[in-house]
Amino acid sequence: MVTILARLLLALSLSAQTAQPAGTLVVEVRAGDRAVAGATVRAGEQTGKTDATGRTTLTLAPGAYDVSVEADRYLPTVVRLTVVPGAPVHVTVEMQPLEEEIFVTATRTETRLQDQPLRVEVIDREEIEEKALMTPGSIAMLLGETTGLRVQTTAPSLGAANVRIQGLRGHYSQLVADGLPLYGAQATRSACCRCRRSIWGR
């Protein structure tokens, strides 16, 4: 008699545990004022991908979780939260864009490009890679494509050229390498003296 009661009680308590309602987690992934679609959200054993509105819903057993969010071009983010049974838990995850900081050395303070009071235009490695294939032997094409820089042929016969900046003649422009006048004091002349083709800047 006692044993049957004991087994019934045990069975009841077991079913009570498995019948415990699962929690719902709604994750919204944003970057500033934009929704991030296609982000991978992981919590415990569950994985979801955000839709066009930046949302994904995961069904999880109640408990504490480290929710990790990963998306292309953004830094991975981890958020810690607790899932409770019953009402869904909403969380908005803010993503930081993955951007290589560009440090400027030309102004001697090595500050970030966007913190620079003096306007410095940077042609980064990506753009250099692109332009490297246009004139692999020289930087003339690269320079010519930065607005305000104009590569001007000075000696049509020998193909010498220099760089005009903001409308001023070429001898006013100085070319330095890592801050050093390796090409001489009036450098653009000799360094650009390599226009296999007359390179026309804008």
Partner 1 sequence: MPPLDLGQVEVIKGVASALYGASALGGVINLVSRRPRETERELLVNATTLGGTDVTAFLAQAPASGWSWTLLGGYHGQVRQDRDDDGWTDVAGFNRGLVRLRVFFDNGRGGTALATGGVMLEDREGGTLPGASAPDGRPFAETLVTRHADGGFVGRWLTPGGHIISARGSIMRQSQDRRFGADRERGTRVTWFGEASLAGVRRRHTWVVGAAFQQDRYDARDLPQFDYVFSAPAAFAQDEIALSPALSLAASARVDVHSEYGTLASPRVSLLARPKPGWTLRVSAGTGAFTPTPFTEETDETGLSRLLPLSGLEAEHARGASADVTYTHRPFELTGTVFGSIVNDPTQLEIVGADTVALVNASEATRTWGTELVARYRREGFLAMLTHAWTRSTELDVDEGVRREVPLTPRHTASLNLVWEGEVSGRFGIETYSIGRQRLEDDPYRDTSRPHVLVGFLVERRLGRVRLFLNAENVFDVRQTRWDPLVRPAQRPDGRWTVDAWAPLDGRVFNGGVRVAF
Q: Does 151 bind partner 1 (CB under 8 A)?
A: no
Are the C-beta atoms of 201 and 150 separated by less than 8 Å? yes
Work out which of 41, 58, 93, 175 binds partner 1, going by CB under 8 A. 175
Q: Which two tokens stand for residue 108?
A: 């001697």
- Between residue 85 and residue 104, which ones bind partner 1 under the rule CB under 8 A? 97, 102, 104
Q: For residues 50 and 100, what is the distance between their CA atoms, to the nearest angstrom? A: 25
Strand 23-31 to strand 89-94: parallel, antiparallel, or no bridges (unpaired)? parallel
Nearest distance from C-beta of residue 69 to partner 1, angstroms: 18
- Between residue 7 and residue 46, which ones bind partner 1 under the rule CB under 8 A? 32, 34
- Quick one: 92 or 166, whose CB is closer to partner 1? 166
Q: Does 111 bind partner 1 (CB under 8 A)?
A: yes
Q: Does 178 bind partner 1 (CB under 8 A)?
A: yes
Q: For residues 96 and 30, what is the distance between their CA atoms, to the nearest angstrom? A: 9
Q: Provide the β-strand partners of residue 165.
A: 149, 168
The burial of 128, by beta-carbon neighbours within 10 Å (0-12 exposed, 13-18 middle, 19 or more buried), is given as exposed
Binding mask 42-81 for partner 1 (x = CB under 8 A): ------------------------------xx--------
